[in-house]
A = this chain, B = another copy of it.
Amino acid sequence: MTFNSILDTIQTYEAGKPIELVVREFGIAPQDIVKLASNENPLGASKKAIEAITNNARNAHLYPDDSMFALKEGLSQHFNVSQQEIIIGSGSDQIIEFCIHAKAHSNSKVLMAKITFAMYEIYSKTTGATILKTQSQSHNLDEFLEIYKAHKPSVIFLCIPNNPLGDCLDKAEVFKFLKEINNDTLVIIDGAYQEYAKAKDSKKAICPKELINTFPNTIYLGTFSKAYGLGGMRIGYGIAKPNIIQALSKLRPPFNITTPSLAAAIEALKDQEHIQKTTQNNLEQMAYYESFAKEKGINYIPSYANFITYLFETPLNSSKIADYLLKKGMIIRNLASYGLNAIRITIGTKNQNEKFFTLLNEFLEQK
């Protein structure tokens, strides 16, 4: 059987290794495995969200309210935007997919940073669009602007802070850049890690309402997967002007969120104290990662997210380090597939982080 030729160009996304796989492959007991690979919230979800899932287990046979009225109402209040300016996705990933399918096609161009969230490229390729990338490792808006002017892409991705590197543009420079962009180019501001960035430095905070009111060609993406601790429930959201939301809604499959996920997100949003605890733990524990790196002479990228990237120099090799840690039950993300001799570690709890320091130290001393 033949398939559309576009499939030949698509690479499957390489997710962080799940604990289940390490159990199966290395025979390590689940309780002895620490996963700091997928930027999950080490404190878990809000107790209220967990309760909402439990309370909705008996409604598992009922399709969710596909209008998602209650969640949109909550987001509408939280961000001071109207319900017509909100779309809900199965993770913000799915909203990336809607954006791409609404704007890109085989004759259009999509612009993104050299190293950024892999799904931007994967979804773009399903349309046959040409991918344009900047040269610099960090988000460089001068390069973005130069490529924009030369190629007029129909979609631009800015990941603020950037995953998997952790660097973060200032709001002021983003707004300055956006002034240069034509109204028919959709600019996607991926704020998956904004809660962490805001907590560290208010200059990084992007207010979705201000963003879309100033630049009606933008969409802000947020997620419940990171600071809200609901990565396993698959809920993200997009905030944009109603004309954009209407177009994307045509591509939203019915019932794209599960019944317990909807209930969990509604409760998680109400528990802002949990977000504060989460970002507080993140800042405190991040400091240990910075000290450890300095002490051992490892380069790192100052991070505005809930992970940190350690950059190695030969003879140190990120793949060898990742393998060593994996066999000891410590899962982190090797960034070799991004062309980097680096690893990305999710900031965990104190205990989890100490296990990481012990194991990496062990590896370094063996050398």
Contacts and interface: CB of A to CB of B under 8 A. Distances in A.
A233 B258 contact: yes
Contact of A59 (B1, B51, B119, B232): B232
Interface in A77-134: 90-91, 93-94, 97, 101-105, 119, 126
Interface stretch (A202-210, A241-249, A308-316): A241-249
Contacts of A347: none
Given A91-B255, A232-B64, A50 B41 contact: no
Nearest to A123: B253
Contacts of A254: 13, 15, 93, 119
B1 A232 contact: no
Interface stretch (A66-74, A137-145, A193-201): A66-74
A10 interface: yes
Given A21-B67, A260-B53, A1 B61 contact: no
A61 B231 contact: yes
A102 B4 contact: yes
Nearest to A51: B57
A323 interface: no
Nearest to A247: B3
Contact of A90 (B24, B184, B256): B256
A140 B229 CA distance: 50
A184 B105 contact: no
A60 B232 CA distance: 5
Contacts of A60: 44-45, 49-50, 53, 229-233, 264
Contact of A251 (B41, B45, B126, B264): B126
A253 B57 contact: no
A104 B18 CA distance: 33
Interface in A156-188: 183-184, 186
Interface in A7-60: 7, 10, 12-13, 15-16, 18-21, 24, 35, 38, 40-41, 43-45, 49-51, 53-54, 56-60
Given A50-B57, A54-B54, A229-B61, A253 B18 contact: no
A262 B1 CA distance: 30
Total copies of this chain within the assembly: 2
A186 to B, nearest CB: 7
A65 interface: yes
A234 B255 contact: yes
Main SS at interface, chain A:
loop
A62 interface: yes
Given A62-B232, A90-B256, A67 B251 contact: no
B253 A93 contact: yes
A109 B93 CA distance: 29
A292 interface: no
A20 B65 contact: yes
Contacts of A259: 232-233
Interface of A: 1-4, 7, 10, 12-13, 15-16, 18-21, 24, 35, 38, 40-41, 43-45, 49-51, 53-54, 56-67, 69-70, 90-91, 93-94, 97, 101-105, 119, 126, 183-184, 186, 216-217, 225, 229-234, 243-244, 247, 249-251, 253-261, 264
16 contacts: A1-B217, A3-B102, A10-B250, A15-B63, A15-B255, A16-B63, A19-B62, A20-B67, A38-B62, A49-B60, A54-B57, A57-B57, A57-B260, A61-B229, A90-B253, A234-B258
